[in-house]
Structure 1
Amino acid sequence: MGERAILAEVDDLAQVLGLHAALAASPPAGIDDLVPAARTVLVAFDPARIAPAAVRAWVLSAGTSGPDAAPPGPLVEVPVRYDGPDLDDTAALLGIRPAELIARHAAAPWRVAFTGFAPGFAYLVSDAWPHDVPRLAQPRTRVPAGAVGLAGEFTGAYPRETPGGWRLIGTTDAPLFRPDAPDPVLLTPGARVRVVPQRAHLSAAGADVAGGDSASGGRDATGAPSAPGISSAAHALRVLAPGAFATVQDLGRPGRAALGVARSGALDRGALRVANRLVGNAEDAAGVEIVLGGFRAVAERDTWVAVTGALADLHLEGRAVDAYTPLLLPAGAELSIGVARAGARLLLAVRGGVAAPASLGSRSTDGLAALGPPALRPGDVLRAGEPRRPIPVVDSFPWSVPAATVEVDLCSGPRADWFTPAALRTLRDATWTVSNDADRVGIRLDGPALERLRHDELPSEGMRPGALQVPPHGRPVALLADGPVTGGYPVIAVVTDATLDRLAQARPGDRVRFRGV
């Protein structure tokens, strides 16, 4: 799966749980993440700290000498009201009465096989659940938070409102995902789950959402304290106009994919690092990612800033100034960033770093997971932390205008053998066009269809930023920093980490060329 991850495939879900348990028991230095899925375990690693050959040897050793079954995880009790809109239809589909479906679902001892789709969304399985439930033919555009559903062999509950195609049979008030809690995800891989049926008329306040007692190893399913404040940080900029879309981003929250949490962070990580360097910040300090320009802000106090990334006209109090250079904004002065003329995203660094509440160790906004601060709006005030370093004696930083044709390097993908040799040549030789379906989750590319050799359904497996998924329409989709951590479309190739940032500057209508594997 590219040069920073491998995919270990086994025969069934039971072996996935056993392999994941064996790997998690003693990971060597350099292993960043372990993501179990339906038939695979994704092993992400840092090639600067551990060689790929050593990772492969470790995985194979764990696969041959690990336990036959994963040890039992913590017990979590989840209250469920069986009031879902699909309850009756699902029971009829299975040839049983709704009361029998409820009884079987509530009596089954469930276990979390893996997470994905959204932070806190757990795929639960049970040996006592014999049903294979087909998904809805037409997915809902809105599934409310707390909805309990069935799909295939799995049951699961939606931690937040999202689209979805599972058949909804109930509702839970359990806090499935609490980003500011010490343990943010209630249902983690390996956890045992006991369903506690609730009367449908009970409100959330009347539902018993507590887990088992401490003697039984249970876990409390109560709320969490709010995120720490940032009142000690000084006002730096007041936003007059955020442009098309502007969010706070740092270098993200890696290493949490097993919880269903994407890496997120600035899409053009290099541009953020340079901007931070120019104003004397640590490279991972939070800045502002601005899509297509059009941003205006006024300084609340004397403030150093730097703007990098896409090409746009910059003005300080109406006077043209340069990008990729430190700029001192006097108190009351207005900084204006024009519409981007090349590239898609600009990065604005503020001396001291943008101070915003951290969620799971990062200040980054992840719109798909609803993590981090909301997108900026007119009137918002950006606070800055305390500078730790002097302003570097650097007048400017070498840079070039983002090209209209983006060239990125590819590594082999785990499902390249699902495609014809002609499809692999087409991927490399064609010039692809960035479609209008391009955001922080991913970019769909328009061009010739990539022909498949296999057309069967792929069980969900771990995904990475840079993965090129190929949906049934045959056009590749490049996953980016906010993309899902698991997915069910085959990955034909993976963009190298060194060239992934270039896709951050690709805008609709731009062209993309892939260089050889």
Structure 2
Amino acid sequence: MVTARALPMGERAFLVEVDGLDEVLAAHAALDATRPDGVTDLVPAARTVLVRVDPRALPLAAARSWALRAAADAKPGTAAAGPLVELDIDYDGADLDDTARLLGVTADELARRHAEAEWRVAFTGFAPGFGYLISEDWPYDVPRLESPRTRVPAGSVGLAGVFSGAYPRDTPGGWRLIGTTSATLFDPAAAGPALLAPGARVRFRPSADAGRSAPLPSPRSGDIADAGRSAQDRPAFARSGDLGEGDGDHVQDAVTPTSRAALRVIEPGLLSTVQDLGRPGAASIGVAVSGALDRTALRTANRLVGNPEGWAAIEVTMGGLRAVAEADLWFAVAGAWGPLRLDGHAVDPYEAHAWPAGAELHLDWFAHGARAYLAVRGGIDAPDALGSKATDLLAGLGPAALRAGDRVLVGDAPPTPIPVAPPQSWGAPHDDELELALAPGPRADWFAASTALFDAVWTVSGAADRVGARLDGPELARTRTDELPSEGMVPGALQVPPSGRPTILLADGPVTGGYPVIAVLTDTSLDLVAQARPGTRIRFRHA
């Protein structure tokens, strides 16, 4: 039997908390085996399983009752063994010798113990396909590096705490690196994208040709983690020129006829990305929802040109986009407001306009709001990654951020006509001061007084992007200072780091995290915070 507790995580999710990893494995298996319609995702972590719910299909209270019954009936140690994955490994990591000395063993002994253990994927997080591996055969608890590396190469195998893990892509990280593997750990085009999915058994098989790659240099003092800034290159467009800050060379799409309708980017502005309504349901393998931060504005822009409301468009942050149509197109812009010009002539947002071939469209710097959505009739035509065309900057999924010279393809026009009138009234977004509604979070009792969160006026800092928005204001004092084991996160979660000042996680945020969540934005408030600019004041109220 498992002792389980339900903890709130906003209005569309909750945590099932149990006593430890063995209970998590049992509870997750029981929940997955009996999952009802309306449960959109199950995300196991160190001591919790996050249950995400579509309240239109299943009331949250009903989902909570089901989850507690199923978890209580689970029996630790009886979860069915998952498939066995064997990973070739070279024990050539930069930290192998130092870690062995720290543990009082030789490097050969450490490598032998690691290879002889049978590991199991307890949960996935941090990055798509990054599995947290545990083993009853592993006796060590390994401290993380004091200063995380800003870049850990894909394929690196590391240790942290009681866990082992392999990095699916280049990311920052503070784990101690003991080896490398050449296995493809995450492939969004595969039927099972994550090689190391929760429940899988893992064996590390030492390669005959050990030492094939040079060890990574030890981290320098002062290095800090800086989450991946650009997506994997799965272009929605043909691109010429050298790669800038991406993860690989951009290539010409040889199978795309040049006669396809398209627009060409002259200037991308501060940041322009392809976004749709995201990829829900993949958090258990480490993939965030992503998609448009202001979903209402995306839907509106698409409806204005007669597209289905979830089709891909261009999300423009703070303005500055200039693009030229290569064929006759129709477009509409919704969301943030600023001067909008077509071949130098002012045009209105929230209205469909003909965009003749050769004409330049300019979304100037926004005066109000932070993000606008440029929808083109036919939608932006980009390859799907896990069922979505959205760019996820943290995970590196979807097309890279737009650059000057990109040729962005446009899909076929839908059969629905362009509406004769806007679908709703519109106005400039309010970005001086926002009032945002908060639903309960799972760790409110870790703080001295949750009223401080609602009494203060917070300010959006300069550290605000698609991953999250850090707020400036008074320190939220904690009554508990112990470390929180990683647990599932949702967009809108207010994580409170040791500084005491909360960060609002947004669509590209991590799917698991180790900072306590004091509260969670309501779904409606998520769209509002998408338009907050650095300096915007925020007041919170109870939902």
Q: TM-score, normalised by structure 2?
A: 0.89
1:392 counterpart = 2:437: no
Output aligned runs, 1:153-302, within 5 Å.
153-199=162-208, 201=210, 203=212, 234-302=260-328
Cα deviation, 1:31-51, whole Å, max 9, x if unaligned, reads 000000000000000111111
- Same amino acid, percent of matched pairs: 62
Deviation at 1:231, TM superposition (A): 5.0
1:21 counterpart = 2:29: yes
Retained in 2: the 8 A contact 1:180–1:226?
no
Moved over 6 A (4+): 225-229
- Figure out how many residues of one structure are paired with residues of the other and give that number: 495
Q: Distance in 1 between matches of 2:150 and 2:502?
A: 23
1:83 counterpart = 2:92: yes
Deviation at 1:226, TM superposition (A): 11
Partner of 2:488: 462
Q: Distance in 1 between matches of 2:467 and 2:138?
A: 34
| Equivalent residue for 2:42, pick from 34, 47, 72 | 34
Cα deviation, 1:285-338, whole Å, max 9, x if unaligned, reads 000001110111111111000001111100111111000000111111111111
Output aligned runs, 1:30-429, within 5 Å.
30-69=38-77, 70-199=79-208, 201=210, 203=212, 234-388=260-414, 389-395=416-422, 397-403=424-430, 404-421=432-449, 424-429=450-455
Task: Check 1:233–1:398 CA distance in 2 against 1; reply closer, same or farther (3 A cut).
Answer: farther
Cα deviation, 1:89-145, whole Å, max 9, x if unaligned, reads 101111111111011000000000000000010000000101100101111111111
Q: Distance in 2 between matches of 1:338 and 1:66?
A: 57
Aligned residue for 1:262, secondary structure, equals coil
Q: Distance in 2 between matches of 1:114 and 1:77?
A: 18
Q: Distance in 1 between matches of 2:531 and 2:260?
A: 31
Aligned residue for 1:92, secondary structure, equals helix
Let me know the Cα RMSD of the aligned residues: 1.7
Matched residue type, 1:49: A
Aligned residue for 2:98, secondary structure, equals helix
Aligned residue for 2:72, secondary structure, equals helix
Retained in 2: the 8 A contact 1:233–1:383?
no
Task: Check 1:151–1:229 CA distance in 2 against 1; reply closer, same or farther (3 A cut).
Answer: farther
Task: Check 1:466–1:226 CA distance in 2 against 1; reply closer, same or farther (3 A cut).
Answer: closer
Cα deviation, 1:481-508, whole Å, max 9, x if unaligned, reads 0000000000000000111111111111
Q: Distance in 2 between matches of 1:54 and 1:231?
A: 51
Task: Check 1:396–1:336 CA distance in 2 against 1; reply closer, same or farther (3 A cut).
Answer: farther
Q: Distance in 2 between matches of 1:154 and 1:201?
A: 23
Output aligned runs, 1:487-506, within 5 Å.
487-506=513-532
Unaligned runs of 5+ in 1: 205-224
Bigger CA drift: 50-59 or 480-489? 50-59
Aligned residue for 2:314, secondary structure, equals strand
Partner of 1:209: none
Retained in 1: the 8 A contact 2:91–2:211?
no
Q: Distance in 1 between matches of 2:457 and 2:259?
A: 47
Retained in 2: the 8 A contact 1:233–1:386?
no
Deviation at 1:254, TM superposition (A): 0.4
Q: Distance in 1 between matches of 2:11 and 2:287?
A: 21
Task: Check 1:226–1:273 CA distance in 2 against 1; reply closer, same or farther (3 A cut).
Answer: closer
Matched residue type, 1:415: R
Task: Check 1:229–1:272 CA distance in 2 against 1; reply closer, same or farther (3 A cut).
Answer: farther
Deviation at 1:234, TM superposition (A): 2.5
Cα deviation, 1:158-183, whole Å, max 9, x if unaligned, reads 11111111011000111011112221
Q: Distance in 1 between matches of 2:37 and 2:258?
A: 36
Matched residue type, 2:30: A
Q: Distance in 1 between matches of 2:422 and 2:164?
A: 58
Deviation at 1:66, TM superposition (A): 2.4
Q: TM-score, normalised by structure 1?
A: 0.93
Output aligned runs, 1:424-439, within 5 Å.
424-439=450-465
Aligned residue for 1:339, secondary structure, equals coil
Q: Distance in 2 between matches of 1:396 and 1:434?
A: 31
Matched residue type, 2:189: D
Task: Check 1:202–1:170 CA distance in 2 against 1; reply closer, same or farther (3 A cut).
Answer: closer
Deviation at 1:513, TM superposition (A): 1.2
Retained in 1: the 8 A contact 2:235–2:383?
no
